Amino acid sequence: MSLMLGDGVRATMRWILWVGSSLTLALVATSAAGDPPPSGSTVTASMLNLRAQKGNVVCKLYHSEPDFPRGQTGSVRKKVVVRGGSTRCVFNDVAPGTYAITVIHDENDNGKLDKNFLGMPTEGYGVSNNRTYATKAPIWSECKFVVARGKNPELGISLRY
């Protein structure tokens, strides 16, 4: 009889271990599925003064000074079709840090900022903090802004034509 009791205890222990491990796996799967995925902030750049209702607005969000304002690396590019006198670029899942934005109103959709024979832009351009110059490139220290954890910055950018 004691031998049977021993086998019964062992069987019961195996059953308890199986149920316990199954519950543990179910809890881990449920908590992993229930947790929201890590996400960053949303940065919105709005341009309200478009000269023409044609072409595209191209925005670049830069994360580092060495690439700003003309680098291809270290930036995220958004292209938005112009459908009225204003538009906006939205950058999702932006990690906390320091950034700057450049904007070009590419009216003729040729993929570049057109300039006249003197090198002056003939299409609209702008930057975060609205620090543009007619004769020189924008400066990182004047255009940068901070994205704090849990904050969603909204920037109004005035284009210079």
Claim to verify: residue 51 and residue 113 sit in the same structural domain: yes
Output the six-digit token pair for 55.
């072409």
In tens digits, what is the pLDDT along the chain, a chain of 161 residues?
444 555 655 555 554 444 454 444 343 344 445 555 547 999 999 999 999 999 999 999 999 999 999 887 889 999 999 999 999 999 999 999 999 999 999 999 999 999 999 989 999 999 999 999 888 899 999 999 999 999 999 999 999 99
Query: What is the per-residue pLDDT for 14?
Result: 55
Find the CATH number of the domain harbouring 95. Answer: 2.60.40
Task: Report pTM.
Answer: 0.75
Claim to verify: residue 21 and residue 57 sit in the same structural domain: no
Are 158 and 49 a contacting pair, CB within 8 Å? yes
Claim to verify: residue 148 and residue 102 sit in the same structural domain: yes
Claim to verify: residue 84 and residue 133 sit in the same structural domain: yes
- For residue 113, CA distances in Å to 55, 88, 92, 96, 129 come to 12, 18, 25, 30, 20
Q: Is residue 161 part of a domain?
A: no
Claim to verify: residue 15 and residue 79 sit in the same structural domain: no
Query: What is the per-residue pLDDT for 7?
Result: 60
Q: Is residue 133 part of a domain?
A: yes
Claim to verify: residue 151 and residue 82 sit in the same structural domain: yes
